[in-house]
Amino acid sequence: MNDTKIARLEARVNPEIKALWQKAADLQGVTLTDFVIASVQQAACKVIEQHQTLKLSLEDAEAFVEALKQPAIPNDALIAAALRYKQVMQNGIND
């Protein structure tokens, strides 16, 4: 026996929409059911991706603002790197 569970989904659409979807499915060489499932799957992934991108962007913006409000104190390695950079820029790279 197959352990894969399948959920049923029903939708009522007018005949013109069904005919349009059927034509698209026929052009792709798939069943109407497969066409609808693939289309809904693609749309759902796109919506979720857009939402997550927006959410991450807002979180990143908040973290950036907090970093500007309370900058970290530079450690010894950062101070040394800044001094080396300043010397290189003053003396020229080829010196």
Q: In this predicted model, what pLDDT tens digit does every residue of 51-88 receive, in sequence order? A: 888 787 899 999 999 999 998 899 999 999 999 999 99
Report which residue type is found at 7.
Answer: A
Q: What mean pLDDT is reported for the chain?
A: 91
Rounded to whole angstroms, the Cα distance separating 91 from 7 reads 71
Domains in the chain, CATH or no CATH each: 15-91 (1.20.5)
User: Residues with Cβ < 8 Å from 18, sequence gap 6 or more?
Assistant: 32
Q: Give the CA count within 13 Å in the CB-facing half-sphere of 5.
A: 1
Which structure tokens are listed for 13?
Answer: 């659409």
